[in-house]
């Protein structure tokens, strides 16, 4: 086994749009760059079918294709892509250069002068039978991404927080009818977000209600399963109802994949990485030399183009920070 240690200029954690874009920029700045791809190489877009809102693709592009191409672009520029999950980051005691020691779950330890965290945030799904197979076939975790596929149709949003209200209000501009299904008798969203749905003639709120069943239309086995209706249970009365739908948007939150950063960089209560304090390097976290971008960060818009843009910013910040040392 070759024990000689490589020292990377930048180690990027995550291989979604943020991580791969950062790697492309870093490689083009001649920084020795490695991407740790995590257990979802390509990130969240690899579980969607058509991406219709990424510029440059007049007919949309498959999520998997987009990410394979991004990865190939990075590799062509000399980026090393390593499979594995990061378990721990610490500061190594190497002198005179301050280095980050990054430990993977398989025990491998890598050293880098800077780190960019782009670990994304997983949508919280309902965890009901048939849900997985219906994602992309009537079930979505993102109205901005998929709302247009339901123009003029009937949809429901599950949730009662800011995201759920915002998604319901957004969908009400496109869809014929929007049900908002919430398990409590009041919304958790801010007053401003609540206003967008409470007086909206296209939005009907079902209070104290939970989705208990997802039913696909599989009458014709040659057509992939598609959501046809859902069963809703009133958790006060126990009454159950079937609601016919074209689409269901799950908006009950997301979990940033940042547990391994606890105690290393400042995180919000929900685990989002805080950036923005350092005005010169806006993507720097509370730990000098660790940058972050994409869905794992405390930014509002969780979109591939935003993640890619922030990844670019993190790479440019890293480059200028490294050259200031």
Ligand X SMILES: Cc1cc2nc3c(=O)[nH]c(=O)nc-3n(C[C@H](O)[C@H](O)[C@H](O)COP(=O)(O)OP(=O)(O)OC[C@H]3O[C@@H](n4cnc5c(N)ncnc54)[C@H](O)[C@@H]3O)c2cc1C
Contact positions vs ligand X (CB under 6 A): 13-19, 36-41, 43-45, 47-48, 51, 53, 85-86, 118-120, 123, 135, 141-142, 145, 257, 260, 294-295, 302-305, 307
- Residue 200 token pair: 């909206």
For the CB of residue 1, give the shortest distance to ligand X in the complex, in Å.
23
Catalytic residue among 52, 69, 146, 317: 146
Is 175 a known active-site residue?
no
Q: Give the CA dihedral 19, 21, 22, 27, nearest 10 degrees.
A: 120
Q: How far is the CB of 236 from ligand X (least distance, A)?
A: 32
Taking the least distance from each CB to ligand X, the nearer of 139 and 197 is: 139
- Residue 221: CB partners within 8 Å, gap ≥ 6? none
Q: What is the DSSP letter of 311?
A: H
CB of 136: closest distance to ligand X in angstroms? 6
Alpha carbon distances (Å) from 281 to 78, 254, 285: 25, 26, 9
| Distance between start and end Cα atoms, the chain | 33
Determine whether 146 is an active site residue.
yes
Question: Is residue 130 within 8 Å of 307, Cβ to Cβ?
Answer: no
The Cα diameter of the chain in Å comes to: 69
Q: What's phi and psi for 16, nearest 5 deg?
A: -85, -165
Cβ distance to ligand X smaller for residue 187 or 307: 307
Any idea what DSSP says for residue 241?
E
9, 127, 142, 185: the active-site residue: 142
Residue 142 annotated to the active site? yes
Closer of 64 and 198 to ligand X (Cβ): 64
Between strands 209-217 and 7-13, the pairing is: unpaired
Residues with catalytic function: 142, 145-146
């Amino acid at each position: 086994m070759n024990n000689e240690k490589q020292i990377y200029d930048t180690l990027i954690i995550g291989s979604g749009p943020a991580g791969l874009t950062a790697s492309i920029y870093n490689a083009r700045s001649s920084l020795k760059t490695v991407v740790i791809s995590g257990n979802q190489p390509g990130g969240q877009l690899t579980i969607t079918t058509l991406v219709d809102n990424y510029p440059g693709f007049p007919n949309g592009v498959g999520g998997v294709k987009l990410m394979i191409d991004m990865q190939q672009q990075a590799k062509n520029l000399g980026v090393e892509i390593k499979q594995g999950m990061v378990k721990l980051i610490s500061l190594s005691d190497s002198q005179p250069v301050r280095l980050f020691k990054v430990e993977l779950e398989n025990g491998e330890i890598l050293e880098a002068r800077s780190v960019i965290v782009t670990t994304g945030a997983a949508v919280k799904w309902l965890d009901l039978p048939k849900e997985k197979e219906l994602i992309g076939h009537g079930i979505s975790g993102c109205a901005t991404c998929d709302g247009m596929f339901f123009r003029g149709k009937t949809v429901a949003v599950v949730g009662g927080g800011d995201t759920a209200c915002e998604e319901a209000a957004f969908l009400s501009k496109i869809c014929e009818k929007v049900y908002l299904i919430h398990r409590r008798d009041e919304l958790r969203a801010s007053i401003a977000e609540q206003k967008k749905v409470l007086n909206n003639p296209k939005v009907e709120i079902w209070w104290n209600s939970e989705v208990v069943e997802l039913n696909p239309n599989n009458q014709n086995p040659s057509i992939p399963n598609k959501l046809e209706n859902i069963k809703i249970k009133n958790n006060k009365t126990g009454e159950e109802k079937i609601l016919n739908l074209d689409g269901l948007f799950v908006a009950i939150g997301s979990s940033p994949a940042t547990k391994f950063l606890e105690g290393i960089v400042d995180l919000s209560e929900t685990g989002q990485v805080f950036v923005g304090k350092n005005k010169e390097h806006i993507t720097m976290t509370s730990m000098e030399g660790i940058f972050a971008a994409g869905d794992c960060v405390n930014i509002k818009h969780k979109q591939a183009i935003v993640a890619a843009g922030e990844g670019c910013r993190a790479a440019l910040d890293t480059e200028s920070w490294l050259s200031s040392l």
